[in-house]
């Protein structure tokens, strides 16, 4: 049996929409780095070491957590596995991520504007 593809989940554990998150975990191996691993120096080190394997997507489902690594820039993006095709993030704006570099890598950028914990 083939293993499920992996997604890197940046941020705290989900607080809302547990049923949706549960469905996600049936189709994907969701990897959640610790808070310490999300700090930029350790995050970059982990990417260089391929600590989380060849994940195919990155999700940051809450606007107030998961950004501990700082700006998603050329240095960081260059360390993503080649198979990463999606960067999904909740929030209002995306000036903290270099979308041009994501595009150069052929990655889909999916930014979800959030005003509260509810889905719209």
What pLDDT score does 109 carry? 67
The model's pLDDT over 1-31, given as tens digits with 9 standing for 90+, comes to 568 999 999 988 887 788 888 899 999 999 9
The confidence band for 36, taking pLDDT boundaries of 50, 70 and 90, is very high
Asked if residue 34 has pLDDT above 80, the reply is: yes
For tokens 């975990």, name the residue: 25
Distance from the Cα of residue 101 to its chain's centroid = 15
- Sequence length of the chain is 120
**More confident site: 107 or 65:** 107
């Amino acid at each position: 049996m083939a293993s499920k593809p992996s997604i890197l989940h940046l941020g705290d554990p989900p607080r809302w929409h547990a049923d949706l998150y549960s469905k996600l975990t049936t189709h994907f191996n969701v990897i959640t780095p610790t808070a310490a691993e999300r700090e930029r120096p350790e995050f970059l080190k982990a990417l260089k070491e391929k600590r989380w394997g060849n994940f195919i997507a990155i999700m940051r489902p809450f606007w107030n957590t998961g950004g501990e690594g700082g700006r998603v820039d050329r240095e960081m993006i260059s360390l993503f596995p080649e198979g990463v095709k999606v960067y999904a993030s909740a929030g209002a704006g995306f000036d903290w991520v270099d979308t041009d570099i994501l595009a150069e890598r052929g990655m889909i950028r999916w930014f979800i504007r959030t005003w509260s914990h509810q889905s719209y």
